[in-house]
Structure 1
Amino acid sequence: MRKTIENSHLILVAAALIACLIIAGCTSSTDTNNSSGEKVLRVGDLWTVSSINPGDGHDGGTFVTEKAIVTETLIGANDNFGLVPNLAESWEQINDTVWEFKLKQGVKFQNGKEMKADDVVASLDDTIRLSPSTALLMSYDHAEAVDDYTVRVYTTELNPLVPGVLHYPDTAIVSQDSYDENGNFIKPIGTGPMMVESYDEQTGELVVVRNEDWWGGDPGIDKMILKGYESPATRAMLIENGDIDFTCDPPYSEVERLNATDGIHVEVYNTPRLYKLDANLGHEAMADLNVRKAISYAIDRDGIVENVLYGVGTSAGGVFLPSMTWSNKELSPYPYDPELAKQYLAESGWTDTDNDGVLEKGGEKLKVKIFTYTERPGLPPMLEAIAANLRDVGFEVEETSMENSALSSAMGDDWDLYLSATNLAMVPDPEYVLKSWYTTNGTSNKAGYSNPTVDEMIVEGHYISDLDERYDHFREIEAIVYDDLPTINVAYYGVAIVMDDDVEGYQFDPTAHDYRIDPFMTISS
Structure 2
Amino acid sequence: MRKIALSFLLMFVLSLTAGMVASQESGGTLRAAWQARWESLDPHVASSEATFQILNNVLETLTFFDDDMNLIPWLAEDWENSEDGLTWTFYLREGVLFSNGRELTAEDVKWSFDRLIDPEIGSGNAFRLGGAGTQIDVIDDYTVSITTESVVATLPASLAANKSTGIVAPESVDDEGFISTPIGSGPFVISEIDGTTRLVLSRNDGYWQEGLPYLDEVIIRPITDDVARELALQGGEVDWIFTIAPQNLDALQADDNVIVETAPRLAYDYFGLNLNREPFDDVRVRQAIAMSIDRQVICDFAFFGICEPVQGPTASGTPWFFDYAPYDLDLDRARELLAEAGYEDGFTMEIMPAVGFDETIRGAQVVQQQLAEVGIEVVIGAVEFGEWLERQGAGDFDAFMLSWLGLTDAEDYFFLQHRTGQTFNFTGYSNPEFDELVDRGREVSDFDERFAIYEEANRILVDDAPYIFMYAKSEVKAWSPNVQGFVVRPDSAVNFWTVSLDN
Using the size of structure 2 for normalisation, the TM-score is 0.81
**Matched ranges for 1:64-463 at <5 A:** 64-66=54-56, 69-78=57-66, 83-94=71-82, 95-129=84-118, 131-133=121-123, 134-135=125-126, 137-138=128-129, 139=131, 140-167=133-160, 168-176=162-170, 178=172, 187-201=181-195, 203-209=197-203, 211=205, 213-215=207-209, 217-325=211-319, 327-332=320-325, 334-335=327-328, 337=329, 340-346=330-336, 348-349=338-339, 361=344, 364-407=345-388, 416-423=398-405, 425=407, 428-463=408-443
Aligned mates of 2:218, 2:45 — CA distance in 1: 22
Cα offsets for 1:346-383 (capped at 9, x unmatched): 355389xxxxxxx963xx44433322212212100111
SS, match of residue 264 in structure 2: strand
**Residues 435 and 232 of structure 1, relative CA distance in 2, 3 Å threshold:** same
1:54 counterpart = 2:36:
no
SS, match of residue 307 in structure 1: helix
Tell me by how many angstroms 1:54 deviates. 3.2
Residue in 1 aligned with 2:28?
39
Tell me by how many angstroms 1:302 deviates. 1.9
SS, match of residue 311 in structure 1: coil
Question: Is there any run of 5+ residues in structure 1 with no aligned partner, and where?
Answer: 1-35, 352-358
Tell me by how many angstroms 1:404 deviates. 2.8
Residue in 1 aligned with 2:494?
516
**Residues 146 and 185 of structure 1, relative CA distance in 2, 3 Å threshold:** same
Give, as a single letter, the amino acid of the residue that structure 2 aligns with 1:48.
R
Tell me by how many angstroms 1:88 deviates. 1.2
Residue in 1 aligned with 2:451?
471
Give, as a single letter, the amino acid of the residue that structure 2 aligns with 1:524.
D
SS, match of residue 382 in structure 2: strand
Aligned mates of 1:135, 1:448 — CA distance in 2: 18
Aligned mates of 1:435, 1:50 — CA distance in 2: 24
Provide the aligned length of Structure 1 versus Structure 2: 471
Contact 2:53 2:494 (8 Å CA) reproduced: no
**Residues 245 and 120 of structure 1, relative CA distance in 2, 3 Å threshold:** same
**Residues 311 and 266 of structure 1, relative CA distance in 2, 3 Å threshold:** farther
SS, match of residue 76 in structure 1: strand
SS, match of residue 419 in structure 1: strand
**Residues 128 and 396 of structure 1, relative CA distance in 2, 3 Å threshold:** closer
Aligned mates of 2:41, 2:495 — CA distance in 1: 16
Aligned mates of 1:399, 1:141 — CA distance in 2: 42
Give, as a single letter, the amino acid of the residue that structure 2 aligns with 1:517.
N
- Of stretches 500-509 and 81-90 in structure 1, the one that deviates more from structure 2 is 81-90
Give, as a single letter, the amino acid of the residue that structure 2 aligns with 1:444.
F
1:499 counterpart = 2:493:
no
Aligned mates of 1:186, 1:297 — CA distance in 2: 44
Tell me by how many angstroms 1:401 deviates. 1.7
Contact 2:242 2:477 (8 Å CA) reproduced: yes
Aligned mates of 1:282, 1:183 — CA distance in 2: 33
**Residues 145 and 244 of structure 1, relative CA distance in 2, 3 Å threshold:** same
Give, as a single letter, the amino acid of the residue that structure 1 aligns with 2:386.
S
SS, match of residue 487 in structure 2: coil
Aligned mates of 1:174, 1:283 — CA distance in 2: 39
Contact 1:277 1:420 (8 Å CA) reproduced: yes
Aligned mates of 1:176, 1:366 — CA distance in 2: 51
Aligned mates of 2:104, 2:374 — CA distance in 1: 61
Residue in 1 aligned with 2:19?
none
**Residues 304 and 58 of structure 1, relative CA distance in 2, 3 Å threshold:** closer
Tell me by how many angstroms 1:99 deviates. 1.3
Aligned mates of 2:364, 2:227 — CA distance in 1: 18
Aligned mates of 1:424, 1:37 — CA distance in 2: 29
Tell me by how many angstroms 1:314 deviates. 1.9
Tell me by how many angstroms 1:103 deviates. 1.6
Aligned mates of 1:148, 1:276 — CA distance in 2: 45
Contact 1:43 1:226 (8 Å CA) reproduced: yes
Contact 1:249 1:377 (8 Å CA) reproduced: no
Question: Is there any run of 5+ residues in structure 2 with no aligned partner, and where?
Answer: 1-24
Contact 2:355 2:382 (8 Å CA) reproduced: yes
Cα offsets for 1:42-87 (capped at 9, x unmatched): 1111232444443553459614432xx1221111125675533221
- Between structure 1 and structure 2, the one with the greater Rg is 1
Query: Percent identity among equivalent residues?
Result: 25
Cα offsets for 1:250-286 (capped at 9, x unmatched): 3333333333345223223333322112233445544
**Residues 280 and 410 of structure 1, relative CA distance in 2, 3 Å threshold:** closer
Contact 1:309 1:378 (8 Å CA) reproduced: yes
- Of stretches 83-92 and 433-442 in structure 1, the one that deviates more from structure 2 is 433-442
Tell me by how many angstroms 1:125 deviates. 3.5
Contact 1:91 1:100 (8 Å CA) reproduced: yes
**Residues 465 and 192 of structure 1, relative CA distance in 2, 3 Å threshold:** same
Tell me by how many angstroms 1:212 deviates. 5.7
1:488 counterpart = 2:482:
no
Aligned mates of 1:322, 1:303 — CA distance in 2: 19
**Residues 343 and 217 of structure 1, relative CA distance in 2, 3 Å threshold:** same
Aligned mates of 2:110, 2:144 — CA distance in 1: 7
